[in-house]
């Protein structure tokens, strides 16, 4: 009798448990669904650094000893401002020697010109004398030999004039060469003074007075502050929609809580073959007073806005290949898997679907072991 009672109680407990399990498995389970959201921004993310479009490491075109430096790190300079000077004593001596050579060449040119004028006058005299001798010989008052001698002297005067003209031309060429050499030496002397090629800020001062310099060796790094921009590296898989003029937000590592409005001003035509990233350059619309070249930044570029969309977490989708994915939908109160087209991806790891995706059926935004095809569910509003 006691055994029969225990058996009855066990059977009752088993039936209760089976009923509970059946009730749990058959009752509709509430699941969150994706609502239709309006004006959804689509952004892409990139990491990069602060750079400058106009940045020059400037130095002297000639070598020498650095005599003086007039600006330092952080100074603002205008175009043409004197930045530094080289020792000029040797070059000034060369300029003085070139000036003396010009004076000598000018004197030689004047002497050659005077000799040419003298030769022209002598030729005119010989021609007049030869003319008189010919007239006398024609009238029989003079000898033919004298007339012929006069003609010979005229020919010699012509030859002397040609020589003097050539000497004058050579003297002029020597004078021109001397003047060109003087101009070159004065130009070299001017290059002993380093001036700012553009208005900017001195980022770095590399050498100090007394240091020997080679031609072209950098003395300063100069940057034009109005050309500061941010270089962002964006994954190629998300960079397809980036266009010039699109708005962006830049956050500097030193000021993470101060977003800087910016816009896309240049898109690199060559991607990095190793990191598979595209270079995007952003110019700030309201730049901070102080920036530091090379500082790391985070950039968010808005590549568009969706008038309406359903947003599903990537974790709630399967088989996402960049264009399509499989999601849970509710059809006639039961779960089913459907393939949908993905319109875009958001920065918070959600997939944007068209409002009528999956035939307009509610799309589930949660995932878990309890979800299975044919399971009875009921929409419970958006996930929180």
Comparing C-alpha atoms, which of 254, 266, 301, 261 is closest to residue 284? Answer: 261
Asked if residue 78 lies in contact with residue 137, where contact means CB atoms within 8 angstroms, the answer is no
Indicate the burial class of 208 (C-beta count within 10 angstroms; 0-12, 13-18, 19 or more): exposed
Question: What pLDDT is recorded for position 23?
Answer: 39
pLDDT tens profile 263-318: 999 999 999 999 999 999 999 988 888 889 999 999 999 999 999 999 999 988 99
Asked if residue 91 lies in contact with residue 188, where contact means CB atoms within 8 angstroms, the answer is yes
- Asked whether the predicted pLDDT for residue 333 surpasses 70, the reply is yes
Question: What pLDDT is recorded for position 129?
Answer: 75
Asked if residue 358 lies in contact with residue 338, where contact means CB atoms within 8 angstroms, the answer is yes
Report the C-alpha gap between 355 and 340 in whole angstroms.
11
CA angle 260–262–351, rounded 5-degree value: 95
Q: What would be the CATH architecture of the domain defined by 55-87+192-223?
A: Beta Barrel (2.40)
β-strand partners of 48: 232, 297
pLDDT tens profile 106-159: 998 899 888 888 888 887 887 887 777 777 767 766 677 776 777 787 788 788
User: What does the H/E/C string look like for 140-190?
Assistant: CCCCHHHHHHHHHHHHHHHHHHHHHHHHHHHHHHHHHHHHHHHHHHHHHHH
Mean pLDDT estimate for the chain: 87
Place of tokens 């009238």: 139
Q: What is the DSSP letter of 33?
A: B
Report the C-alpha gap between 330 and 32 in whole angstroms.
11
Residues 6+ apart with CB under 8 A from 40: 305, 306, 308, 309, 311, 346, 352
Comparing C-alpha atoms, which of 200, 192, 248 is closest to residue 226? Answer: 200
Report the C-alpha gap between 273 and 276 in whole angstroms.
5
> How many residues are listed for the chain in this entry?
384
Q: What is the DSSP letter of 362?
A: -
Question: What pLDDT is recorded for position 12?
Answer: 56
CA angle 188–193–197, rounded 5-degree value: 105
Asked if residue 345 lies in contact with residue 352, where contact means CB atoms within 8 angstroms, the answer is yes
β-strand partners of 30: 378
Residues 6+ apart with CB under 8 A from 378: 28, 29, 30, 31, 333
Comparing C-alpha atoms, which of 380, 317, 300 is closest to residue 352? Answer: 317
- The Cβ of residue 86 has, within 10 Å, a number of other Cβ atoms equal to 22
What confidence category does residue 24 fall into, taking pLDDT thresholds of 50, 70 and 90?
very low
Indicate the burial class of 373 (C-beta count within 10 angstroms; 0-12, 13-18, 19 or more): exposed
Range in 53-67, 245-259, 344-358 with the lowest mean pLDDT = 344-358
CA atoms within 13 Å, Cβ hemisphere of 75: 16
Spell out the domain ranges in the chain.
55-87+192-223, 89-190
Give the Å distances, CA to CA, from 106 to 94, 102, 111, 120.
18, 6, 9, 21
* Range from 29-38, 106-115, 187-196 that averages highest in pLDDT: 187-196
**Six token digits for residue 270:** 């060559």
Assessment of whether the complete model's pTM goes beyond 0.85: no
């Amino acid at each position: 009798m006691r055994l029969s009672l225990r058996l009855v109680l066990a059977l009752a407990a088993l039936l209760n448990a089976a009923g509970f399990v059946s009730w749990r498995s058959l009752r509709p389970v509430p699941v969150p669904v994706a609502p239709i959201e309006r004006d959804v921004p689509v952004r892409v993310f990139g990491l990069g650094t602060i750079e400058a479009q106009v940045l020059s490491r400037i130095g002297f075109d000639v070598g020498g000893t650095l005599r003086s430096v007039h600006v330092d790190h952080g100074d603002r300079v205008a175009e043409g401002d004197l930045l530094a000077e080289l020792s000029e004593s040797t070059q000034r001596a060369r300029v003085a020697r070139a000036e003396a050579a010009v004076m000598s060449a000018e004197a030689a040119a004047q002497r050659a010109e005077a000799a040419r004028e003298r030769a022209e006058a002598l030729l005119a005299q010989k021609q007049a004398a030869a003319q008189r001798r010919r007239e006398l010989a024609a009238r029989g008052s003079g000898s033919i030999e004298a007339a012929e001698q006069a003609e010979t002297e005229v020919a010699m005067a012509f030859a002397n004039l040609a020589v003097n003209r050539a000497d004058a031309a050579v003297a002029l060429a020597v004078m021109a060469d001397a003047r060109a050499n003087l101009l070159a030496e004065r130009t070299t002397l001017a290059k002993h003074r380093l001036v700012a090629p553009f208005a900017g800020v001195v980022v770095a001062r590399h050498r100090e007075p007394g240091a020997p310099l080679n031609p072209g060796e950098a003395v300063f790094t100069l940057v034009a502050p109005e050309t500061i921009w941010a270089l962002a590296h964006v994954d190629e898989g998300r960079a397809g929609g980036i266009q010039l003029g699109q708005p962006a937000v830049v956050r500097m590592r030193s000021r993470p809580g101060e977003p800087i409005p910016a816009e896309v001003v240049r898109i690199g035509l060559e991607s990095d073959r190793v990191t598979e990233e595209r270079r995007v350059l952003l110019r700030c619309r309201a730049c901070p007073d102080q920036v530091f070249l090379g500082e790391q930044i985070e950039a968010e570029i808005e590549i568009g806005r969706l008038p309406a969309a359903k947003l599903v977490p990537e974790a709630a989708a399967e088989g996402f290949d960049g264009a399509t994915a499989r999601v849970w939908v509710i059809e006639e109160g039961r779960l089913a898997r459907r393939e949908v087209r993905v319109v875009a991806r958001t920065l918070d790891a959600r997939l944007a679907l068209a409002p009528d995706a999956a035939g307009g059926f509610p799309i589930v935004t949660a995932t878990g072991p309890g979800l299975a095809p044919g399971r009875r569910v009921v929409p419970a509003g958006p996930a929180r």
